[in-house]
Amino acid sequence: MWINTLLVIAFILSGLQAFHVRRLLSAVLWLAVTSALIATTLYRAGAPEIAAMELSVGAGLVTVMFVFSIAIAGEEAMEARTLISPALAWLLIVAAAVLLALPILPIEPLETAASEVPFSTMLWEERGLDVLVQVGLIFTGVLGILGLLTEPAVERKRETAVDEKTAAKPVPGFGIPAFQPVAGRQDAGAPILEERI
């Protein structure tokens, strides 16, 4: 029981720490720590398959995705000011805690004689539709990663338009690019033009 209590305290503190650090990368690392602690808790709760999944996906893949995104977007300085005042936030949290505790306490084991089905049978046969939904979700995630990697269309169009404007146009009959002075450097292309003529 003491180990469970320590684990609970640790993942709550590390979860809170993710909102109190000033650097995004530190926040992501605290999230990874929380995920690893929850994976340990899940293992101790008798769910080793989900613990392994949580450790690999929650602490591994998601952390990598966060770090990758922060590297792309850049880490801007986080404001010390909060969206609402912390006192009001804590008041709302206490209200939510009371609302949450009222229907679930006291927690007692249900008197059910459930027939235990193996995890693989449960996942692939009894919850087959869930697996199909997961496949669809993973496909959506792949599209999301493509959206994460692609450049915005507006910027691409702008770059193409600038390239077309600055590109040299051929003079009819000669196939030699026409001289186009660079803005601010009127004499820059003159010697090249003379050489060509």
Partner 1 sequence: MSISPVAVLWVGAAALLLVGLYGLLVVRNLFQIIIAVQLLGKAVVLALVLAGRTSGQINLGQSLAATVIVADTIVTVIGLSFVIQIKRRMGTVDVKELATLKG
Q: Which of 26, 40, 102, 155 binds partner 1 (CB under 8 A)?
A: 155
Considering only residues 156 to 195 of the shown chain, the ones binding partner 1 according to CB under 8 A are none
C-alpha 35/C-alpha 92 separation (Å) is 25
Interface pattern 35-64 for partner 1 (x via CB under 8 A)? x--x--xx--xxx-xx--xx--xx--xx--
User: Which stretch, 122-130, 158-166, 174-182, 185-193, contacts partner 1 (CB under 8 A)?
Assistant: 122-130
Rounding to the nearest 10 degrees, give the CA dihedral for residues 34, 35, 39, 40: -30
- Please give the residues from 71 up to 100 whose contact with partner 1 meets the rule CB under 8 A: 72-74, 76, 78-79, 81-84, 86, 89-90, 92-93, 96-97, 100
Choose one: 145-153, 161-169, 175-183, 187-195; the region binding partner 1 (CB under 8 A): 145-153
Q: Which residue in 30, 40, 32, 31 sits closest to 8, CA to CA?
A: 40
The residue from 26, 40, 103, 148 that contacts partner 1 (CB under 8 A) is: 148
**Considering beta carbons, is residue 89 or 188 the nearer one to partner 1?**
89
Among 7, 177, 179, 193, binds partner 1 (CB under 8 A): 7
